[in-house]
Amino acid sequence: MRSKLLVKLIGVLAILSLVVAACGSGDNASKSKKTGPSAGPSKNAGKAPATVPGFDGSTIKLGVVTPLTGAVSVISLPLTYGSDVYWKGVNANGGVGGKYKVELKEEDSQYQTPVATQAYDKIKGDVVAFQQILGTQITKALLPKLQADSLSAAPATLDAEWVKNPSLFPIAGPYQIQAVNSLDYYIKNGGQGKKICAIAQDDEFGVAGLQGLDYAASKLHFTVAKTVKFTTVISGGGDVTAQIQQLSDAKCDLVFTVATAADASSILTKSIALNFTPQVIALAPFWLSAFAQSPALQDFLVKHFWLASEGSYWGDPNIPGMTKMLADVQKYKPDQKPDPYFGFGYAQAWAMDQILEKAVADGDLSKEGIQRASNEVGTLKFDGLTGDYLYGSSAADRDPPRTSTVFKVDPSKPAGLDVLAPTFASDAAKSYKFPKA
């Protein structure tokens, strides 16, 4: 009897709280409204920016919608830490423009579009822009909302589709460029005439990587002998035995791999188990530093694995941007292990800082003001941490870095990677045309 009363009480209270909470619009009331187009340069240049949602006169708030939990958090957490450390460094020096500190407002997307949409809606009224949105599908789903709300976001994915989108602030060379450059290096360094195959995850990231492969094939005059696809472990798949067997049966010399770290271990261990040892080239999201220390994978990786990415190895003293980052790590997160995703998150924050500096100089930290500032910032510079990115006078003029770095595995190095081919841009990469938004 008592348990029935208790359950009744819980049920009534739950429904009441739902009704009460739903009826309250809270401090964050924000209804999407159509806004007029930006009109000309800011009239407030040189003056203190007016307070707007996300800026209260002293603190600038930036949103983060990323999977803080789940399998993908192995990528998103270091990304977020990287941005967080960057802003701690800026805040210690007074903030943007020496005056305005930056605060990150983080929401967990669980790597699911409906959850990410709710997370976005929750904080969009509290922020001036989004520091990070992770996930190609999630970014695509949020784009109509970003456009309707005149908000901007930095996507934590490298698809070529983002380059010319005015609502997005991308950095780094897209996956397609990484693919073209790495294949160009392979062809010119003993790969001519070899059998080239591919394995790609069956989603948008896989599509992006294979676009790069197809472009490289057309420009470098090779044929892809076999392409296999797999369902990622995050989506309920993960067993790539059949796919690896197909590649092994085809006797591929090179396997161009489009997969994230979530499936990397499975691909590598299956290849080793089947005694299949081609040269492997993978794109940046494949790598986890821990792989280099794994006894089961180390030998294969050292002999047969290259990673297409950007910048230099963790700790390279010749890169001023790297030195700056490591100094901030030492101060604000000394327990941070070498992690390329941390570096990417740091660079994302660096990009946003340059845009916000321009917006502060314009005296306009509104959503439209920030978008205008992105068209005035010129070239985003990173002191070698990643490639400089030309933003131009409009999103249509943007030109990402055409450079990539090919890494080899060296367990003695921080993050387990050493440079094989330092930053270079192939002719094929220079000719790649990015789609309009």
Site residues, other proteins (CB under 8 A): 3-4, 7-8, 10-12, 14-15, 17-18, 21-23, 25-26, 28-34, 64, 66, 68-69, 76-77, 80-81, 84, 104, 106-108, 110-115, 117-118, 121-122, 124-125, 137, 140-141, 143-145, 148, 202-204, 206-207, 231, 234-237
Selection from 232, 211, 229 nearest residue 163 by Cα = 211
The string of DSSP letters for 374-414 reads HTTS-EE--TTSS--EE--SSGGG-B----EEEEEE-TTSG
Task: Determine the 3-state secondary structure of 278 from DSSP.
Answer: coil
- For residue 112, the minimal CB distance to other proteins (Å) is 6
Structure tokens at 250: 């085809």
Q: E-strand spans in 260-342?
A: 279-283, 305-309
Q: Residue 101 is which amino acid? A: K
| Cα dihedral 351, 152, 207, 248 sign | positive
The distance of closest approach from Cβ of residue 288 to other proteins in the complex, given in angstroms and rounded to an integer, is 18
Structure tokens at 369: 């003001």
What is each CA distance from 432 to 100, 174, 181, 388, 416, in whole angstroms? 39, 11, 11, 17, 31
Nearer to other proteins, 69 or 393 (CB): 69
Of 68 and 307, the one with the shorter C-beta distance to other proteins is: 68
Sign of the CA dihedral with 420 first, then 383, 346, and 54 last: negative
Nearest distance, CB of residue 115 and other proteins, angstroms: 8
Q: Which is nearer to other proteins, 11 or 320 (CB)?
A: 11
Contact 283, 258 (CB under 8 A): yes
Spatial separation of the C-alpha atoms in residues 436 and 410, rounded to whole Å:
39
Comparing CB distances to other proteins, the nearer of 79 and 370 is 79
**Residue with smaller CB distance to other proteins, 10 or 327:** 10
**Shortest distance in whole angstroms from residue 142 CB to other proteins:** 8
Nearer to other proteins, 76 or 312 (CB): 76
Return the CA Rg of the chain: 23
Can you read off the two tokens belonging to residue 363?
Answer: 């005296």
**Complex with other proteins: residue 94 or 114, whichever CB lies closer:** 114
Minimum distance, C-beta of residue 140 to other proteins, in the bound complex (Å): 5
Question: Looking at beta carbons only, is 231 or 323 nearer to other proteins?
Answer: 231
- For CA atoms 304, 308, 314, 318, the dihedral sign is positive
Evaluate whether 49 touches 361 at the Cβ level (below 8 Å): no
Shortest Å, Cβ 122 to other proteins: 5
Q: Determine which helix (DSSP H) or strand (DSSP E) holds 143, and give its type and residue range.
A: helix 136-149
Q: Which is nearer to other proteins, 288 or 360 (CB)?
A: 288
Residue 86 Cβ vs other proteins, minimum distance, rounded to whole Å: 13
Q: Are 105 and 64 in contact (CB under 8 A)?
A: yes
Min dist. Cβ of residue 187 to other proteins (A): 27
Closest approach of Cβ 200 to other proteins, in Å? Answer: 9
- Rounded distance, CA 50 to CA 415, Å? 43
Query: For other proteins, which is the closer residue by CB, 345 or 416?
Result: 345
Reported as type and span, the H/E element at residue 142 is helix 136-149
**108 vs 316 by CB, closer to other proteins:** 108
Tell me the residue type at 221: H
Length reported for the chain:
437
Decide if 333 contacts 81 (C-beta within 8 A). Answer: yes
Closest distance of CB 43 from other proteins, Å: 26
